[in-house]
Structure 1
């Protein structure tokens, strides 16, 4: 056999080896992340829910999904273990990030240019001349009239 006919098979086997190796590394990293969970740590489940770890067991973890609300999840359902700053930024809306010196890191370049941030813009409410209470009463009356019309035809 010629080496040129074997070359595609050798390349294919090499690519498969590299792909399985990287997949095993990702699985090992995920397992290590899940084993490093401790009570009080913020996590994101694979479904996208953010919660705080309350208890860690062999195959399960108890998460506090809201104040006083606890749920039992499989460890495999934990998608990411978050550090405190990231968890607070996402869940509580704390936009301030601290650098190594403890100084606040701006989230954009507005501090360098001196321009105002989009959050600093004042929002004014525009009156469209519509009375909300009259609109609600009108829709309730229309609903009652529709219900009366349907019940009379049956």
Structure 2
């Protein structure tokens, strides 16, 4: 066989090897991160919920999702183990907020008020326009007779 014929296959196999190697490395890092969990550690689940670890078992963790509210989660559901200061900043709002940080109002209705009055012409007639056109046509027909 010719080396030029085999070259695409060699490149494809090399790319597959590199991709599986990096995926396996990320997976090992995730397992190591989950093994670092200890009671009192702040975590974020893969669903985006923040909680505090209360107990760590082989495949599960007991999380306190709110004061006095506990839930059992699979270890695989833990997306990130957070540093204490980062967890407190996110959950309790502790820390300095930058002055240029935009503040989103609780009620975003003021953002949509201006848009409510705007009508967009989609090239379709409203039912009211159709009724008026039919009435005008009917009046024209009766006047012609």
Shift of 1:118: 4.3
State the secondary structure of the residue aligned to 1:38: coil
- Equivalents in 1 of 2:81, 2:23: separation in Å? 19
Q: SS at 1:30's partner residue? A: helix
Residue in 2 that maps onto 1:69: 69
The aligned runs of 1:49-60 (5 Å cut-off) are 49-60=49-60
Q: Larger radius of gyration, structure 1 or 2?
A: 2
* Structure 2 unaligned blocks of 5 or more: 102-145
The equivalent residue for 1:89 is 89
Distance 2:24 2:63 in 1: 27
Distance 2:36 2:100 in 1: 39
**Bigger relative contact order (CA 8 A; separation at least 6):** 2
- TM-score normalised by L of structure 2: 0.67
Q: Write the distance in 1 (CA, Å) between the matches of 2:15 and 2:85.
A: 39
Question: Following the alignment from structure 1 to structure 2, what is the Cα–Cα distance between the partners of residues 77 and 118?
Answer: 34
**Shift in CA distance, 10/118, structure 1 to aligned 2, threshold 3 Å:** closer
Are 1:10 and 2:10 matched, yes or no?
A: yes
Q: How does 1:1-154 map to 2 (within 5 A)?
A: 1-96=1-96, 117-118=99-100
Task: Give the CA deviation at 1:95.
Answer: 2.7
Instruction: Tell me the matched-pair count.
Output: 102
| Structure-2 residue corresponding to 1:152 | none
TM-score (ref. length: structure 1): 0.63
Deviating beyond 6 angstroms after TM superposition, the runs of 4 or more aligned structure 1 residues are none
Q: Distance in 2 between matches of 1:78 and 1:86?
A: 16
* Distance in 1 between residues matched to 2:6 and 2:48, nearest whole Å: 46
Shift of 1:41: 0.2
